[in-house]
Structure formats: C-alpha cells, structure tokens
Amino acid sequence: MLDIKFLRENPETVKQNIRNKFQDEKLPLVDEVIELDEKRRTMQQEADDLRNRKNVLSKQIGGLMKEGKKEEAENVKAEVAKDAARLAELEAQEGPVNDRIREIMYVIPNIIDPSVPIGRDDSENVEVTKYGEPLVPDFEIPYHTEIMEKFNGIDLDAAGRVAGNGFYYLMGDIARLHSAVISYARDFMIDRGFTYCVPPFMIRSNVVTGVMSFAEMDAMMYKIEGEDLFLIGTSEHSMIGKFIDQILDEESLPRTLTSYSPCFRKEKGAHGIEERGVYRIHQFEKQEMIVVCRPEESPMWFDRLWQNTVDLFRSMDIPVRTLECCSGDLADLKVKSFDVEAWSPRQKKYFEVGSCSNLGDAQARRLRIRVNGKDGKYFAHTLNNTVVAPPRMLIAFLENNLCEDGSVKIPEVLRPYMGGKDRLIPGV
C-alpha cells in the first residue's frame, strides 16, 4: 500500500506505474482518492475548528453565567448545539470516506523498482542467469508420478477417495525423500544464519489483508467457516504477521527467519497436462525464508535470498535458472521479484520451484510494522523467498537423479537424512 502523501504529491508517477503494470482500469482511482483525501482533510479541519470553538464557547458560557447574563449564555449554548450537530454530521461522513480511501489504496499497486522489465505477463519475464548444465539423458524419463509408482511411493486414487482431486499420499522412500529435503533445507538455512521457526498455520483476516492483495486472497485462501481464520497459503503470511503492530528497535534488524509449514491453496483455474500429479495441489509442505530490514538494506537482502535457493538446488546437482518477473507479472504489493526455475530433462525446459520477492514497505504499512530509528519511526521493508517446496521440488529431483536402470541417485548432502542411502532402488 502506498503512502497517501506520496500519491498526493506524485499522481503522475503513480499513474505511470499503473500503466506499466497494464492495469489501466485503475487509473481513475488515483484522481478519485486524491479528491476524497482533499475532502477528508477539509472535513477534519472543519471538525477540529468546531472542537476548538466548542472549548472557547464553553468558557464563554461559564463567564456569562457568572456575570448573570443568562440570555446571552443561552444564545451561546444554541451556537454550541448547532456546532455539535454539524460536528456529528462530519463525523458520520468521515467513516465512509475513510473506508473508500482505504479500499482504493489497497488496490493501487506498489511502485515497482526501476530495474523491473516492462511486460504484460509471465511470457515476457526475463532470464537472468543459468546455473549448472541442463542435460537430457539418452533414455526416456517417465512422468513424475510414474517414477514414484515404481517405488510404491504415491497413491493418488486413495487420496481422491479421501479428499478429492489435488491431494496425494506419499509412501515409503518417496515420503522419506520428501521429509529429507525439508529437513536438509531447514539446516541449510540455519547454517546461513536464519532463525528456525514453526508458525501458526491459520491467520486472522487482518493479517491476510496485510500480506496480500484481495485478488490473491480470493484465488488462494481457504476460509474457516464460522471463524475469523484462514488456512495459510505459505508460512510467509504468518511469519510477516508475527510483527503486526510492533515497533522494532533499529539495532535489532535485520530479522532473518526460516520457517516450516504445510500450505493450503485453492489453485483456481484450468490446469494443463503438465500440472497433473503433485505439480499443482491443494496441500503441500514448504521451507520459507523471510527478512524484515531497514529500507536501504532490502536490495542486498533480495539478492541474498534468491541466491540461497540457487545454492540449495545446486548442492543437490539440480540445474536452475533465475527469471526476473516483468511488471505485469508482479503482484500488486511487490517491488521486484525473481522466480527460480529447475531444469526438467523430461520436458526439456525449466519450471518454477520458488519465488523471491521484495515488497518494500507495502506489507509493513498495512500491518503497521515500524522501526524506531535514530531520526524517528519509519516502516520496515519485508522480503520473502521459497527455500524449497516439495513435493513439486521432488519432480525436479527425481527427473535429474533418475538412472537408466530406474534407480534414483541420492546426492551426498541428503544421505544423512536418508539413513545413509546413496541410491533408491525400485521394489527394494
């Protein structure tokens, strides 16, 4: 959410940012909110004047009564009553005006970083760097569920009977591999200085609206019926929410946290043939990283965060690349975002396994996360990034470590979490 003062003083900058995000339907909102803001400030000034006038007149009434000038005092009382009626009228108008301003400010997109490429959608995202050599083996690589089935590692039919489409049972070595990746990712981030955390898996509506746009909320979140609670779509939500209404000492920054959680998502919309199995699902587990920092440090932390994910995947010999999200592919609160994509030797292309975002002070402004600095209070910057999100990550892992005989190599870094195994063998 933008600062209303910034919008008031830079309307053309805000409008150009909206055009850069190809959201021209929002352009009239800028003029509307400026007009409403002027109306609000005029009403507030009048209300303040009336309150001050009431204090003056109240003293005047007391003086007149002491002097025995009852009739004059009654006339002043009539003025006070008239002013009170007007004040009540202004206060009644103030609520709807504030609500409409807040509604508009919640949908006007954040100002994107100047380095963000301008583009309409994800087809115009820009490749930044590739890491590792993307190889295609001489033998055919089956679809990921077929690989898992060779190890008796997945049961989609039973999950369908129990919960419907978009759910799964992971079994045996595949389930153990899933947990091994999560445990390794946890320790990987702890070794990089992040504090490990297991957060609440449900959050209140004021936290939801603090961390994401209304469009994202509708597309992602599951509401708990009869409760002011939502299942989290990612632990970033409850991790950033941890700091709601807090004033942080500047010396305590940055706050660097890595969190484990299950994630729950509606995943609305049509799903393609490549999104079957465990690619696009309603429930999965994830290791996340978040940073709360000073504004001048957020670009540096952004680069560190996505590099952590790249380093994690490379430590498991999985080729990856980074893509910079173009303006039209950025969610409204984001200043800048990179996707990390893993190589799929079966598809002979990369696919998304993580996303790193700098949200500037947008979330902090909504959640009122402030910093007590040397020169006064200011809003913190927040960032988040996926460390790893199996089971989708398992697709990349299985495809890149599959051998021609059907076995799967276990990279050295994962072996301590797999009971020392260096290979998975079907049927064993």
Distances (CA, A) of 55 to 74, 91, 102, 198, 340: 16, 18, 32, 54, 62
Per the structure block, which two tokens stand in for 185?
A: 């990712």
* Residues linked to residue 77 through DSSP beta bridges, in sequence order: none
- More confident: 421 or 280: 421
Q: Which residues of 16-53 are buried (b: 16+ CB within 10 A; e: fewer)?
A: ebbebbebeebeebbeebbebbeebeebeeebeebeee
Classify 194 as helix, strand or coil: coil
Per-residue pLDDT tens over the stretch 327-385: 999 999 999 999 999 999 999 999 999 999 999 999 999 999 999 999 999 999 999 99
Residue of 212, 176, 202 lying closest to 262 (CA atoms): 202
- DSSP per residue, 383-418: EEEEEE-TTHHHHHHHHHHB-TTS-EE--GGGGGGG
Q: Is residue 251 part of a domain?
A: yes
> Percentage of the chain with pLDDT > 70?
98
| pLDDT given at position 275 | 57
- Number of domains composing the chain: 2
Neighbouring CB atoms inside 10 A of 55's CB total 9
| pLDDT given at position 270 | 46
| pLDDT given at position 274 | 52
| pLDDT given at position 404 | 95
Residue 255 has pLDDT above 70, yes or no: yes
| pLDDT given at position 148 | 95
* Residues linked to residue 260 through DSSP beta bridges, in sequence order: 287
Per-residue pLDDT tens over the stretch 232-245: 999 999 999 999 99
* Residues linked to residue 352 through DSSP beta bridges, in sequence order: 341
pLDDT interval class at 166 (50, 70, 90): confident
Are 242 and 387 in the same domain? yes
| pLDDT given at position 146 | 95
Residue 183 has pLDDT above 70, yes or no: yes
| pLDDT given at position 59 | 82
Residue 260 has pLDDT above 90, yes or no: yes
Peptide bond into 254 cis (omega under 30): yes
Classify 269 as helix, strand or coil: coil
User: What's the CA gap between 126 and 260, in Å, rounded?
Assistant: 30
| pLDDT given at position 268 | 60
Per the structure block, which two tokens stand in for 326?
A: 């173009």
User: What's the CA gap between 242 and 344, in Å, rounded?
Assistant: 36
Residue 99 has pLDDT above 70, yes or no: yes
| pLDDT given at position 68 | 84
Are 188 and 293 in the same domain? yes
Residue 306 has pLDDT above 90, yes or no: yes
Are 362 and 297 in the same domain? yes
What CATH number should be reported for the domain holding residue 377? Answer: 3.30.930.10
Residue 323 has pLDDT above 50, yes or no: yes
Q: Is residue 113 part of a domain?
A: no
Per-residue pLDDT tens over the stretch 291-303: 999 999 999 999 9
pLDDT interval class at 61 (50, 70, 90): confident
Q: What average pLDDT does range 202-216 have in this prediction?
A: 89
Peptide bond into 391 cis (omega under 30): yes
Mean pLDDT of the chain: 93
Are 222 and 259 in the same domain? yes
- More confident: 62 or 320: 320
Long-range contacts of 204-210 (CB under 8 A, 24+ apart): 204/228, 204/229, 204/230, 205/230, 206/244, 207/237, 207/238, 207/241, 207/244, 207/367, 208/237, 209/106, 209/366, 210/240, 210/241, 210/244, 210/363, 210/366, 210/367
Q: Is residue 117 part of a domain?
A: no
Q: Is residue 195 part of a domain?
A: yes
pLDDT interval class at 65 (50, 70, 90): confident
Per the structure block, which two tokens stand in for 353?
A: 């396994």
Burial of 198 (0-12, 13-18, 19+ CB in 10 A): exposed
Are 25 and 51 in the same domain? yes
Are 81 and 187 in the same domain? no
Residue of 343, 286, 346 lying closest to 139 (CA atoms): 346
> Percentage of the chain with pLDDT > 90?
84
Last residue of a domain, one of 57, 77, 105: 105
Are 237 and 351 in the same domain? yes
β-strands 195-197, 255-264: how paired?
parallel
List the domain range (segments joined by +) for residue 290. Answer: 122-424
Last residue of a domain, one of 105, 133, 166: 105
